[in-house]
A = this chain, B = another copy of it.
Amino acid sequence: MPEPRGNTALHDTEHLSATQLHASATIVDGLQISNWDRATLQELRAGGISGVNATCAVWEGPADTLKAIGDWYQLAAKNPDLVTLAKTGDQVRQAKLDGRIAVLLGFQNTSPFGDDFKLVEVFHQLGVKIAQLTYNIQNLVGGSCYEPEDSGLTRFGRTIVSEMNRVGMLIDLSHVGNRTSLDAVEASVAPVAITHSNPTWFVENPRNKPDEVIRAVTENGGVLGCCLYPLVIGGKKATLEGFCQMIARLVDELGPDRVGLGSDCTRNWDQDFVGWLRNGRWQPEGETKASWPEWPEWFVGPEDFPRLTDGLAKVGLDETTIRGVLGENWLRLFDDVFPGRTIR
């Protein structure tokens, strides 16, 4: 049966099927923090993902981050059929054509820069294209979403934002405190991102974002990556339909170009790693040992990305919008930010 043309909703099956759309889309995941190996990368390929912001530092300082990047170079060298380290949106697009995964190295903290603004350019040279300003505690740059008080962006933070703008490293605010986030949007001459959070109106949680922060980011050309981590969707009982309705509402409110996905997949780790994320070295382990949350049945890992496309079609989003959410919106942001800016 020939498919009629037109910008109608996909669930009408008058256009591409969701499966066809998924297969043809360039899909970018705004953040994963997995314990990477060939099998974990193959999950991404099974899910149809062509580009991913892969976290290579959360609490690490400069030296440990170098080791993590070295590990990535090794993994990429040993799996050239499967993975390529990318520095541009076009390299992600090419990876789609080649059937490979384009990995953008990313930080979830500015701890790899230590107290040295010059390390922004150094790590950028090594391939780090995205960095979150703070992880779960206050640092030299600003306040975290989990800190009771948020100082706002510090003087060092302004130096870091300026350097990231200059070299073309995307600023990520996902775990950053709201005040520091608003300061960063104002200080940055390039658009910034929230790679993996949802609105607080969806689930009230420190890791989710109030409208004020989302609007500041998206009105300045940035993208919000909707997140599937159980904590920020309301746990295992969250529904695919509810998640996709959240995205549909965001598309309505912010426009079709401002919304993406950032799954926050945490594959292939043992239980100790979640304790490391929780406590780092900054506090003793509590009475209750940290453990991984349970994911909803409809999304347990990158292989479930096709279900998201199906869900987005079912809530009535059109093909162009779905392509935007699945990856095109990230790619346009990469095209804008990664070349860098001239800073006086």
Residue of B nearest to A149 (CB): B151
| B137/A138 in contact, CB under 8 A | no
In this assembly, does A245 line the interface, its C-beta being within 8 Å of a C-beta of chain B? no
Residues of B within 8 A of A148 (CB): 152, 155
Residue of B nearest to A281 (CB): B116
Residues of B within 8 A of A149 (CB): 151-152, 154
| A115/B59 in contact, CB under 8 A | yes
Residues of B within 8 A of A282 (CB): 115-117, 140, 155-156, 159
A283-B159 contact in complex given A111-B115, A115-B111, A138-B140, C-beta closer than 8 Å:
yes
In this assembly, does A61 line the interface, its C-beta being within 8 Å of a C-beta of chain B? yes
Q: Mark A132-157, 1 if CB is under 8 A from B, else 0.
A: 00000111100100011111101110
In this assembly, does A67 line the interface, its C-beta being within 8 Å of a C-beta of chain B? no
| B280/A115 in contact, CB under 8 A | yes
Residue of B nearest to A111 (CB): B115
In this assembly, does A118 line the interface, its C-beta being within 8 Å of a C-beta of chain B? yes
Query: Oligomeric state, in number of copies?
Result: 2
Give Cα A61–Cα B152 distance, bound, in whole angstroms: 24
A154-B140 contact in complex given A115-B111, A281-B117, C-beta closer than 8 Å:
no
In this assembly, does A284 line the interface, its C-beta being within 8 Å of a C-beta of chain B? yes
Most buried by B among A116, A143, A149, A152: A149
Give Cα A134–Cα B159 distance, bound, in whole angstroms: 19
Give Cα A140–Cα B283 distance, bound, in whole angstroms: 12
In this assembly, does A296 line the interface, its C-beta being within 8 Å of a C-beta of chain B? no
| B140/A137 in contact, CB under 8 A | yes
A283-B137 contact in complex given A59-B115, A115-B111, C-beta closer than 8 Å:
no
State which residues 135-183 of A face B: CB under 8 Å: 137-140, 143, 147-152, 154-156, 159
Most buried by B among A118, A147, A154: A154
A268: min CB distance to chain B, Å = 25
Contact of A156 among B61, B159, B283 (CB under 8 A): B283
Give Cα A86–Cα B61 distance, bound, in whole angstroms: 32
Residues of B within 8 A of A47 (CB): none
Q: Mark A222-243, 1 if CB is under 8 A from B, else 0.
A: 0000000000000000000000
Residue of B nearest to A157 (CB): B138
| B137/A139 in contact, CB under 8 A | no
State which residues 268-287 of A face B: CB under 8 Å: 280-284
In order of increasing CB-CB distance, the 8 nearest A-B pairs are A116-B281, A151-B151, A156-B282, A149-B151, A138-B154, A115-B281, A159-B283, A149-B152
- Residues of A whose CB lies within 8 Å of any CB of B are 59, 61, 111, 114-118, 137-140, 143, 147-152, 154-156, 159, 280-284
List 9 extra interface pairs beyond A138-B138, A159-B284, CB under 8 A.
Answer: A117-B281, A117-B282, A137-B140, A147-B154, A149-B151, A149-B152, A155-B282, A156-B283, A159-B283
